[in-house]
Amino acid sequence: MTKQAIEQDPVHVGDLPGKHIVLGLSGGIACYKAAELCRALIKQGATVQVVMTEAAEQFITAVTLQALSGRPVYTSQWDSREANNMAHINLSREADAILIAPCSADFMAKLLHGRADDLLSLMCLARPIATVPLLIAPAMNREMWAHPATQRNMAQLSADGATILGVGSGFQACGETGDGRMLEPPELLEDIVAFFTPKVLAGQQVLVTAGPTYEAMDPVRGITNLSSGKMGFAVARAAREAGAEVTLVAGPVSLGTPRGVKRIDVKSAQNMLEAVMQQAQAATVFIATAAVADWRPASSAERKIKKDGSGQAPQLAFTENPDILATVAQSPRGVSGALFCVGFAAESHDLEDNAQAKRLRKGVPLLVGNIGPATFGRDDNALLLVDAQGSRELARASKLSLARQLVAEIASRIKQAR
């Protein structure tokens, strides 16, 4: 979240307010990432208690983690700072979750078999399973990751109730390339926030469109708009956090795909329509945030259109693009209510009147209006929710904050319709 967005969203206190995370480090070069992860958790409002194994101390010092967490680091089950000498009990009872990052192959095996020969493994075994979840961020060499023993251990840990956060792929410290790297701190943070988010859209299949479309005039020029796709990507992330399976159909934008979201890249309005109609067959919620071009050139030149020195602009004929939202909303699944459709309207003036007119024209139960020039490319926005009963404002805030509010609104309406 940018400084500008925070200033516009003064009530924002982070995505993990009040959460207390025990961050456990086992041995591995990825311990250096744990420092950034610790800081990121705190920036999002969490408190962090670090517990390190003896092996982890070979890769990063307790002093570093103490400075970042603002708390003394625990490394031994015999730590005399605890009055009852039961750090494994006290620390686990205080936690909202225990996160092992990095979690080595050896430590995964130790967890699986219930071994408890150091403070971290003892704490994991002693934690109240029903109230203190265990999150695991594996980190190891690609061959160790692919080994059948590791895969068996991971599957059994998952069956025992642990949450495996997955691994990244790429160049490893050993010089090899492949799966097994610990996820980057921003990826882990996104997964942790999602873990704690109430799953109000559990069981829903959400389809989101985002960004502009590009309508080619010739091989190098075309018609598009200033939409950055940020609002749509935020909606996709918020829906995934809320427990939905999310497919994101994105126009030409330069944004990273939200964690756990399936992405389909398209270019033109026709491309987007084809992708949406295919995906809409399985969707239960359709959120059309994309700023689709209303018109496209009737034909695209095979070669670049050049100036001829006459001073006369080329004569271009235009044809109307398909109306993606109306097509989906007026399809049998849209009309029956099996597919709950939400539209977006980017207007330049008279927002409420134009948004209400657009909602009726498209035939959707909910339309979200905003002023395009005031939001395109920005990290913050202000929204107007328009339905048959009238309208309601969502005050200016970060786009992710607004996306979460919108997802909660959609979930509430779906629940009421049952």
Indicate which residues carry an active-site annotation.
174
User: What single-letter DSSP state applies at residue 204?
Assistant: -
Nearest residue to 104 via CA among 190, 167, 45: 167
What is the distance between the alpha carbons of residues 114 and 352, in angstroms, rounded to a whole number? 60
Say if residues 65 and 57 touch (Cβ distance below 8 Å): no
What is the distance between the alpha carbons of residues 274 and 281, in angstroms, rounded to a whole number? 12
- 380-387 and 366-371 strand pairing: antiparallel
User: What single-letter DSSP state applies at residue 372?
Assistant: G
Backbone φ, ψ for residue 76 (5° rounding): -135, 140
Relative orientation angle of helices 105-113 and 119-126, to the nearest 10 degrees: 40
| 3-state DSSP assignment of residue 8 | helix
Q: What b/e string do you get for 371-388 counting C-beta neighbours within 10 Å, with b at 16 or more? A: bbeebbebbbbbbbbbee
Residue whose token pair is 């987007």 = 272
Q: Is the dihedral of CA 362, 367, 368, 371 positive or negative?
A: positive
What is the distance between the alpha carbons of residues 139 and 173, in angstroms, rounded to a whole number? 11
DSSP notation for 284-335: SEEEE--B--SEEESS--SS-----SS-PPP---EEEPP-HHHHHHTSHHHH
DSSP notation for 239-279: HHHTT-EEEEEE-S---PPPTT-EEEE--SHHHHHHHHHHH
Q: What b/e string do you get for 1-36 counting C-beta neighbours within 10 Å, with b at 16 or more? A: beeebeebbeebeebbeebebbbbbbbbbbbebbbe
Contacts of 158 (CB under 8 A, 6+ apart): 164
